[in-house]
Structure 1
Amino acid sequence: MPEARSPLHGRTAVVTGAARGLGEAMARELASRGARVALLGREEGALARVSASLPGISGCWEVDVTDDRGMARAGAEIRGRLGPPSVVVANAGVAEGGPFAESDPAVWRRVVEVNLIGSAATARTFLTDLFDSHGYFLQVASLASIGAAPMMSAYCASKAGVESFAHSLQAEVAHRHVGVGIAYINWTDTDMVRDADEHTVLRELRGHMPRPARKVYPVAYVAGRLVTAIERRRPSVYVPRWLRSAQLARAALPPVVTMLSRRELPRLAASRPFEATGLLGAGGRADRIAGSCPPPA
């Protein structure tokens, strides 16, 4: 029996944060299923290398997802070159760690701007296309959307925000036959997570999570699950699947996290003082070099 063709075949899909990590892996998976892929991000050279390696038709655009005018220009060029998008993935994200009281306000704000404002700007840029195509918007969220952690206040706040944004958009556009999905993912093997493990406080944070919650998942596996959710227009997708059960326990998570933090943070601080990490990973460094955020003090 011939293999069934993916419903993504011949469609235009936009992926933000596509120069590396999960965005790159999703772009590859979308292209392998026959989509024309528009890659957006801050690293022009890396984007071009990824685009050149994809099967089929693709293109790349260097743009800051928080720049409304830049996103509008990219959107117009994508429509002209690849056709109107019917799939949009809001994946671009950055993270930083460390005590909130000592955080650099500009770095903290940048995390929220990229993760939350950037997702909204992405949706605004392409929503008319999704109305016309009855398309699908996937918002990449996180376990941090469900249960906040200490030393990650900007990231947790932004991911809780994108969850609420996506729920609101889901209800707002359902009658226009546009699907909106939320991807809840756990630790994924990207440079951002690997960089986090180089910092004592973030490495210990992951190390004190229950064994299933601290596991790091291969990026290709996560991307495959998310693209399958796009094909099926899922309102939510959890990678790993057990994350869905965390929704049932989310009301109990803050007091549990507080109890553990009250016990463990003084012990960790006694061995090494907590310090701000700055933006994590190669993607964070690229954002800083592009001039959107100052280097860590």
Structure 2
Amino acid sequence: MTTVPPLHSQVVVVTGAARGLGALMARKLADRGAKVALVGLEPEELKAAAALCGPDAGYWEADVTDLEGLSLVAQAIKEKYGRIDTVVANAGIAIGGPMLDSDPAAYNRVIEVNLLGSITTARAFLPALAESHGYLLQIASLAALTPAPLMSAYCASKAGVEAFAHSLRAEVAYQGIKVGVGYLSWTDTDMVRGADQDELMREMRAKLPWPANRTYPIGPAVDRLVAGIARRSPHVYAQAWLRGMQPMRWVLPSLVAVVGSREVARMAPRLALTAVSRMHAVGAGGAADEAARRLRRP
């Protein structure tokens, strides 16, 4: 049996690390002795986040959908530290609202960043992980386990990254690489706070059954993710109750189809009136204005 190296001897890369979940994960990994490489947009925020991770931390600006740029970053990180042991594919964005009311470019960008960006991250870093017999943790979501109306782009992307990670696990196991999936419910991040600024999204979420209708503190969620990274777990649950959703997932689409359709029909007049104002995008690793600016980029 392969022995898992302790975190204090590992080099860990975290994408989407400029703020929020990624920044705190990098700091908690550094607190446990890991040398962390923060990757994301917003160079000033990245620099500040890296400064909190100690003198061995480094940061690199990169778009996770840019294979050439991300491959150069992977090479630079390996040159700096000599190896890469773990990669956390955390970068992501979200929009909310009916699919037909959404800006097609913004809608597609969610899938591009969350799903294709995760695939690009794997392409860029798997060669280094093969050399170290390392670990890739793909951050997914409760949205991978259950569909949600008004969040179809995000749910599609997170269901996609879950399936991608499960498929990849079997492909790379013979190289000594382990692959895990991290699941989070609504956690106190920029993304969730941005969604809660929308009255109808907030109202829809309040209709969810407990415990899915709560917003959970970020600290304990990250602690559980870091513990899963240390174990190189195939599944990591940022909130313990999410584990219990796995055996129930077969029934959730039918349940959501009944309850969700009723709620959407009730909200339909208000959704139409507020379609323009609700178009927002919040990056998991960036502020709303930065995410929106990049979504508008040709």
Contact 1:94–1:284 (8 Å) recurs in 2 = no
Tell me how far 1:274 sits from its aligned partner. 4.6
Tell me how far 1:284 sits from its aligned partner. 4.3
Deviations 1:42-98 (A, max 9, x none): 110000011112124011111100001110111111112223210000000000011
Tell me how far 1:267 sits from its aligned partner. 2.2
What residue in structure 2 maps to residue 185 of structure 1? 184
Distance 2:288 2:118 in 1: 16
Contact 1:166–1:182 (8 Å) recurs in 2 = yes
What residue in structure 2 maps to residue 9 of structure 1? 8
What residue in structure 2 maps to residue 287 of structure 1? 291
Distance 1:10 1:247 in 2: 33
Letter in 2 for 1:252: V
Q: 1:1-297, aligned counterparts within 5 Å?
A: 7-271=6-270, 273-275=273-275, 276-280=278-282, 282-289=286-293, 292-294=294-296
Distance 1:43 1:223 in 2: 21
Letter in 2 for 1:243: L
Distance 1:83 1:146 in 2: 37
Contact 2:141–2:158 (8 Å) recurs in 1 = yes
Deviations 1:87-113 (A, max 9, x none): 000000000011111211100111001
Structure 1, unpaired ranges of 5+: 1-5
Distance 1:283 1:253 in 2: 32
Contact 1:149–1:156 (8 Å) recurs in 2 = yes
Three-state SS of the structure 2 residue aligned to 1:180 is: strand
Deviations 1:163-203 (A, max 9, x none): 00000111111122211000011011001101100112211
Letter in 2 for 1:287: A
Report the identity percentage: 49
Distance 1:287 1:82 in 2: 30
Distance 1:192 1:8 in 2: 28
Letter in 2 for 1:245: G
TM-score by length of 2: 0.92
Task: Give the 4+ runs in structure 1 shifted more than 4 A.
Answer: none
Contact 1:8–1:33 (8 Å) recurs in 2 = yes
Distance 2:202 2:186 in 1: 12
Tell me how far 1:265 sits from its aligned partner. 1.8
Three-state SS of the structure 2 residue aligned to 1:237 is: strand
TM-score by length of 1: 0.93
How many residue pairs align between the two structures?
A: 288
Letter in 2 for 1:217: Y
When structure 1 is superposed on structure 2, of 49-58 and 103-112 the one drifting more is: 49-58
Distance 2:163 2:270 in 1: 38
Three-state SS of the structure 2 residue aligned to 1:227 is: helix
Contact 1:95–1:284 (8 Å) recurs in 2 = no
Tell me how far 1:10 sits from its aligned partner. 2.8
